């Protein structure tokens, strides 16, 4: 076994993948920052509210959800932690956003990265999104019916 050739091939492959990731991630981050500054996320949250309420997500949870969906789980989680500390978002909403983002985060970034290595974008995106919607809806129903983990909101 030629270790030098193997290490050289690994280094070339690693740098090629690093280049692909860089070319995809940097422009996406710039676009997301511009969209945030232009108020796109607020506009989108208002458009999504009637649909997200069907699975248990309310208006106060949409900004962290959208950030996590489009930018990534770290950014969305950071916003969620900040909102939770201020008390602006209910425990149930925090839990449901975390459930959704655990299954479906950084949808643009991840989809492009997996497409770069040969994945079918439609199957990848559709499966992740539908699974996240279904699980979030089921958790919302269970919390409302049985008050799991003492998350049910009281009027």
Q: Residue 82's pLDDT band (boundaries 50, 70, 90)?
A: confident
- In contact, 24 and 112? CB cutoff 8 Å: yes
Do the domain assignments include residue 17? no
Q: Which two tokens stand for residue 61?
A: 């949870």
> Is 55 domain-assigned?
yes
What span, in angstroms and rounded, lies between the C-alpha atoms of 77 and 63?
11
Please tell me which of 25-39, 66-80, 131-145 the model is most confident about, judged by mean pLDDT: 131-145
Q: Tokens 């995809």 — which residue?
A: 24
What residues contact residue 21 under an 8 Å CB cut-off, 6+ apart? 113
Does residue 123 sit within a domain? yes
> pLDDT averaged over the chain?
88
Residue 122 structural domain: 29-150
Average pLDDT over residues 71-100: 88
Residue 96 domain-assigned (yes or no): yes
Residue 38 lies in a domain: yes
Answer whether residue 10 is part of any domain: no
Band of residue 155 on the pLDDT scale cut at 50, 70, 90: very low
Q: How far apart are the first and last CA of the chain?
A: 69
Residue 19 belongs to a domain: no
Distance CA 115, CA 121 (A): 6
Domain count, the chain: 1
Q: What's the whole-model pTM score?
A: 0.75
């Amino acid at each position: 076994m030629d270790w030098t050739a193997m290490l050289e091939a690994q280094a070339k492959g690693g740098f090629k993948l690093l280049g692909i990731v860089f070319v995809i991630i940097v422009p996406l981050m710039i676009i997301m920052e511009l969209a945030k500054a232009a108020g796109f996320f607020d506009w989108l949250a208002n458009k999504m509210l009637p649909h997200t309420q069907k699975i248990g997500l309310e208006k106060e949870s949409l900004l962290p959800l959208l950030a996590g969906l489009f930018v990534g789980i770290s950014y969305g989680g950071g916003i969620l932690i900040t909102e939770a500390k201020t008390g602006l978002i209910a425990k149930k909403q925090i839990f449901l956003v975390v459930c959704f983002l655990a299954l479906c985060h950084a949808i643009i970034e991840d989809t492009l990265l997996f497409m770069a290595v040969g994945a079918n974008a439609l199957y990848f995106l559709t499966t992740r999104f539908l699974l996240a919607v279904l699980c979030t809806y089921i958790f919302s129903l269970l919390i409302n019916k049985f008050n799991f983990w003492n998350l049910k909101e009281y009027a």
